[in-house]
Structure 1
Amino acid sequence: MSLSVEVIETSELGDRSYIAHDGDVAIVVDPQRDLDRVESILEEHGLRCALVVETHIHNDYVTGGYDLARRTGAGYLVAAADDVAFNRDAVSDGDERTAGSLTVRAVATPGHTDTHLSYVVIASDGPPAVFTGGSMLFGSVGRTDLVDPARTEEMTRAQYRSARRLAGELDDDAAVYPTHGFGSFCSSGSSAGGDASTIGQERSRNDALVEDDEDSFVETLIAGLTAYPSYYVHMGVRNREGPAPVDLSSPEPVDPDELRNRIKSGEWVVDLRDRVAYASEHIGGTIGVALGQQFSTYLGWLIPWGTPVTLVGESQDDVAAAQRQLVRIGIDRPAGAALGAPGELATPHEIHGYPRSSFADLVSARERGEDPMILDVRRDDERAAGLIPGSAHIPLHSLLESLHEVPAGQSWVHCASGFRASIAASLLDRAGYDVVYIDDDYDAARSLGLTTD
C-alpha cells in the first residue's frame, strides 16, 4: 500500500501538523491542541489513529499529542531522553514501530533541541517520507538558540550535522515534511516555505546542504537569529507535564459595567477589531490587537504571563477564533468576553481615538516646519538594516517595560507594515501618551527618501 499525507496548516503560528496514512491506519505528527481539526480528517477518510508522534518538546505551542493519544488509545511516541511526567512509548535513534502497513523509524536529529527526532515513514509501495519537525526545513533548519543561548554554537553544529545525516541516509525522492518553517519564529536562515519538498530539492537549496563549510554555516545562521516570543519559555514546561484537554466553550459574558471595572483595575481588555477601526474609536484603556494571523503571537509575547484577558469583539465568531488561537499557546480560558461596538459598551466620554497617518503625511508635516518625534517599534535586526534618522527606537516586545523611555510629546509610531505599530499605539494610548499611528509600509518610507537604507 502507498503512503498518503494530509497537511494541517496552523498559519497563525507558522507550523504544520500531519496525518500520514495507508488508507486505513494513521500516524499523527506534532498535532496542535485544537484536535477537532485532526479528528475531522480522521473521520472524513475513515482512519484509525494508531500512533501519535512528537518530533520534539515544542517551544512555540502547547501540544495536542498527549490528549489525542489518550482519546484514541494510540501509541504516543516521545523521545526516551525527554524528561516527561507521563507514560509514553519512549523511542530512541533507530527504533521502529508499525501502524497498519506503515513502518516508522526514529532518527536522532539534535540541533533544534537536544533530543529532537525525525521520523521516516515507509510504505510497501512508493518513496518514504520524513517528518523533520524543527530539523531540516524547506530551505533551511530550525533555530538553535532555544535550549540555552550559551549553547547556540554547539546546537548549530549539531543541526548542521543532523540535516546532513538525513540527506545522507535518504534518497532524493523521499518527501520532506517539517513542522516549522512557514512563518514560525522557530525557523532560522532562509526558510523557503512552499507546499512540498523532497530530499533531492533540499540538496540543491537547503542552507545546511549547499554550504560545505560547517564554520561558515554556523556563523551565518547565528548572525541571522532574531528575537523570539517571550511565551516560548512556558511551552516546554506545559508539554512535559502532559497538557490537559482544551475548553473552547464560550467565555463568560461581560456587561459594560463589569468591563469598565476591569479596565479601571488595569486588567488586559483586548479589542479584536481591525487596526483602522480601533484607531478611529475604541474604549479607553483597552489594548488593540487585531484578530488575524499574528494575533496570538503578539498577544502572548506582550501580556504579563498569567494575566487574565478579557476579549472584546463584534461577534461571537471573532471571540471563538481568538480563543482557538490562544489555547494553542497555553492561554486556556479568557476571563470573559464582551460583544459589540465601542459605542454599545461604553459612554461617549470613555471613547478614545488617535490620528492614523502615512509616511507621506510625515513628509508633509516636516515641510510645514514641524519636527515630529518618530518611534520605531521594529526589532533590533530590522533597525540595523536601515532606519529613519533621528527616530527613537523601542522594539514592541520591550515597550511595556520601557514606557518611561518614550520621549515626551507626541509620538509618531511605525513598524514595517503597520501591524506592530497599531499594537504599540494602543499601548501608548492606554498609558496616556499622545500618539499618531503610522499605518504604512516601511517601503514607502524608503521610496520617500526618509531612511538610511
Structure 2
Amino acid sequence: MKIEQFEDQGLSHFSYAILSKETREIVLVDPARNPQQYYDFAKANDAKIVAVIETHPHADFVSSHAEIARASGATVRVSKLLGAGYPHQAFDEGDTLTLGKLTFRALNTPGHSPDSLSIVLAREGKDQAVFTGDTLLIGDVGRPDLRENAGNLTAKREELAKQLYHSTRDKLMKLADDVQVYPAHGAGSLCSKGKGGASSSTIGTEKSGNYALRPLSEEDFVQELLADQSFIPQYFGYNVELNKAGAPDFAPSVAKVAHLASGADLEPGALVIDARPEADFKQGHHAGALNVQQGGKFETWLGSLVSPEERFYLVAPDEQTRKDLIAKTAKIGYESLIQGAMVGTPSTETTLPKLDVDAFRAHPERYTIVDIRNASETKAEPLFANALNIPLPELRGRAAEIPTDKPVVVHCAGGYRSAAGSSIVAPALPGTEVFDLGEAVKTFLPAAH
C-alpha cells in the first residue's frame, strides 16, 4: 500500500490518498477544494479513485468530495449523522471497506463535531494507521465549539467536549501504540489550539505527549479544552453547510469570476479587498478598501473579516497573484461573492500616513493604541499600558469604540494583521490620523530589549 499526504499550508490542512497496490484502487480522505492533485496522483500510479471518505463536514475549507464522485464515479462515504445532501453511502461504526489486502473501518468519534468519524486502516488484519479528521491532532485535539449553530446536528460546546473526552479515551487510545496517526490539520489551523509542527504521529507518541490525552477527569478535560479557544471565523458555519450539500465543481466556478481592467469603475460603496503589499496599499487605494495581503493566511482572514452574505471586489498586484487569490478564495467557497477581480488599483486618492516610530516610542501616551491581537495573546504578552484590545475579527463592528481625541496606532504581533486593521480603522474614523505600527512592533517585544 501507499499513503500519500497532501498539505495545504495556507489552511494547515492535510488530505490523503491511500493506494491499494493489489487492486490499483485509491481511497481519498478529506480532499481539498481543487481535486486536480488527486487526479494527477491516480494517473501517476495507474490507479482509479473508488471512494472518498469525509471525516465530517469541514468548517474551515470546502471539500471536493462531491465533485470527485461526479467525475470519477467514486462513492462518497460519510456518517449517516451528517445528513448529507449529495449521493453517498453511510459509513459508521461497524462498517468496513475492503480493497485487496486493505480494510478501512469506521469509528464514530464525536466531539469536534457530532458526526465526526475516524478511519482505521488495516493491512491483512493488522491496524496500520488511523485518519482522525479533527478529532485527534498532533499534540492536541479538535476544538468542540464550532457546531452549536451549524450542520444537521448541533450541540453545545460542553456536550461536545465531553464526547471528545470519551472518543479519545474509549476508542482512539485503545488502538495499538504503533498505529500511525494522520490528522486533517496541523499547527496553525483555527480548528484547534495546537502549535506543533509535525504532520503525523503514532498513538503511542500521542498518549505520552499530547496534553489532552494525559490522565484527566472529564470535568477537568472539558474546562481545559474550552479555555482560551480562538475566535470563530464568519465563514465556518457557511462551509459546514456547503460541505453538507456538496460544493460546485472547482474549475468552472473559478472561471465564472469576472476579470476587470485595472481602471474599471466599481459599484459605489462596494467592499474592496486589496491584497497588495501594505506599503503599496498605503501609497494609494480605493476609499474604504481592506488590506488583506496575499501573504499569510489570506483565505482565513478573508473569511474572518467578510461574511458569506457580502459581495466584494478583489485587487491583486499582478496577474499570477490574481489567479492564486481567486483559487484561495474558492478554498472557502467565497468565489461566488467576487464581483470582479482586477490587477493594480482602482484609485490612488486614499492614502495612509507613515508612523514616526521613534516619536511613538518616546511618547506612546500621546497616541490611542489599539491592540488587535486575540485576547489570549494580549493576556499572555501585554505590550503597551492602557492599550485598547479589539481583536481583528471584531474590528469592523467595533471601530467606533476607538476614541478620536489622539492619533491612533494599530498593532498586532508581527505586522500582517495590523495592515488589515489600520485599513479598517482609518475610514471608520474620518478626521483622525490612523497609523500602522507594522513590523516595528517586534522592536517593542520583551525579547527585543
How do 1:377-392 and structure 2 match up within 5 A?
Answer: 377-387=372-382, 388-392=384-388
Structure 2 match to 1:46: 46
Q: CA deviation at 1:122?
A: 1.6
- Please state if 1:275 is matched with 2:278: yes
Q: CA deviation at 1:361?
A: 5.2
Deviates more, 1:193-202 or 1:281-290: 281-290
CA distance in 2, matches of 1:380, 1:65: 36
CA distance in 2, matches of 1:60, 1:179: 11
Identity %: 29
Q: CA deviation at 1:274?
A: 1.7
TM-score by length of 1: 0.89
Partner SS for 2:220: helix
CA distance in 2, matches of 1:25, 1:256: 47
Contact 1:373 1:411 in 2 (8 A): yes
Structure 2 residue aligned with 1:364, among 358, 362, 365?
362
- Please state if 1:187 is matched with 2:182: no
- Please state if 1:96 is matched with 2:102: no
Contact 2:352 2:434 in 1 (8 A): no
- Please state if 1:177 is matched with 2:182: yes
Residue by residue over 1:122-169, the C-alpha shift from the partner in whole angstroms, topping out at 9 and shown as x without a partner, is 223975110000111101100011122872222112112211234443
CA distance in 1, matches of 2:356, 2:98: 59
Q: CA deviation at 1:440?
A: 2.6
Q: CA deviation at 1:329?
A: 0.9
CA distance in 2, matches of 1:9, 1:293: 16
Q: CA deviation at 1:277?
A: 2.7
CA distance in 1, matches of 2:87, 2:167: 27
- Please state if 1:428 is matched with 2:433: no
Deviates more, 1:320-329 or 1:141-150: 141-150
Residue by residue over 1:65-116, the C-alpha shift from the partner in whole angstroms, topping out at 9 and shown as x without a partner, is 1111221111110101221222211111121012343211001111011121
CA distance in 2, matches of 1:83, 1:26: 25
CA distance in 2, matches of 1:223, 1:49: 41
Letter in 2 for 1:89: Q
For structure 2, the 5+ residue unaligned runs are: 150-154
Structure 2 match to 1:113: 113
Structure 2 match to 1:397: 393
Letter in 2 for 1:219: Q
How do 1:144-155 and structure 2 match up within 5 A?
Answer: 144-148=144-148, 151-155=156-160
CA distance in 2, matches of 1:419, 1:53: 36
Structure 2 match to 1:325: 328
Q: CA deviation at 1:362?
A: 2.5
Q: CA deviation at 1:180?
A: 2.1
CA distance in 2, matches of 1:171, 1:34: 34
Letter in 2 for 1:412: V
Q: CA deviation at 1:241?
A: 1.3
How do 1:5-20 and structure 2 match up within 5 A?
Answer: 5-20=3-18
Structure 2 match to 1:406: 402
CA distance in 2, matches of 1:266, 1:372: 30
CA distance in 1, matches of 2:360, 2:373: 18
Contact 2:274 2:293 in 1 (8 A): yes
- Please state if 1:128 is matched with 2:128: yes
Letter in 2 for 1:245: D
| Residues 205 and 449 of structure 1, relative CA distance in 2, 3 Å threshold | closer
- Please state if 1:308 is matched with 2:311: yes
Contact 2:314 2:341 in 1 (8 A): yes
Q: CA deviation at 1:187?
A: 1.1
For structure 1, the 5+ residue unaligned runs are: none
CA distance in 2, matches of 1:41, 1:355: 49
Deviates more, 1:177-186 or 1:278-287: 278-287
| Residues 203 and 304 of structure 1, relative CA distance in 2, 3 Å threshold | closer
Structure 2 match to 1:253: 259
Structure 2 match to 1:224: 228
CA distance in 2, matches of 1:74, 1:286: 43
- Please state if 1:199 is matched with 2:197: no
Partner SS for 2:398: helix
Q: CA deviation at 1:191?
A: 4.8
Residue by residue over 1:325-380, the C-alpha shift from the partner in whole angstroms, topping out at 9 and shown as x without a partner, is 1111111232212213x4xx43x5x142321465x6521344xxx61111111122
| Residues 132 and 449 of structure 1, relative CA distance in 2, 3 Å threshold | closer
CA distance in 2, matches of 1:354, 1:123: 63
CA distance in 2, matches of 1:285, 1:47: 51
CA distance in 2, matches of 1:257, 1:116: 48
Residue by residue over 1:10-30, the C-alpha shift from the partner in whole angstroms, topping out at 9 and shown as x without a partner, is 111121111111232111000
How many residues are aligned here? Answer: 435
CA distance in 2, matches of 1:356, 1:71: 54
CA distance in 2, matches of 1:175, 1:135: 15
Partner SS for 2:373: coil
Partner SS for 2:436: strand
Residue by residue over 1:148-198, the C-alpha shift from the partner in whole angstroms, topping out at 9 and shown as x without a partner, is 28722221121122112344432121111000233111113x452313211
Runs of 4+ in 1 over 6 A off after TM superposition: none
Contact 1:376 1:413 in 2 (8 A): yes
How do 1:334-349 and structure 2 match up within 5 A?
Answer: 334-340=338-344, 342=345, 345-346=346-347
Contact 1:11 1:182 in 2 (8 A): no
Structure 2 match to 1:210: 214
Letter in 1 for 2:373: R
CA distance in 1, matches of 2:41, 2:440: 39
Contact 2:112 2:135 in 1 (8 A): yes
CA distance in 2, matches of 1:167, 1:240: 25
Q: CA deviation at 1:202?
A: 0.9
Contact 1:63 1:243 in 2 (8 A): yes
| Residues 355 and 135 of structure 1, relative CA distance in 2, 3 Å threshold | same
CA distance in 1, matches of 2:167, 2:125: 27
Partner SS for 1:378: coil
Q: CA deviation at 1:243?
A: 1.5
TM-score by length of 2: 0.90
Q: CA deviation at 1:5?
A: 1.2
Letter in 1 for 2:5: V
CA distance in 2, matches of 1:106, 1:74: 18
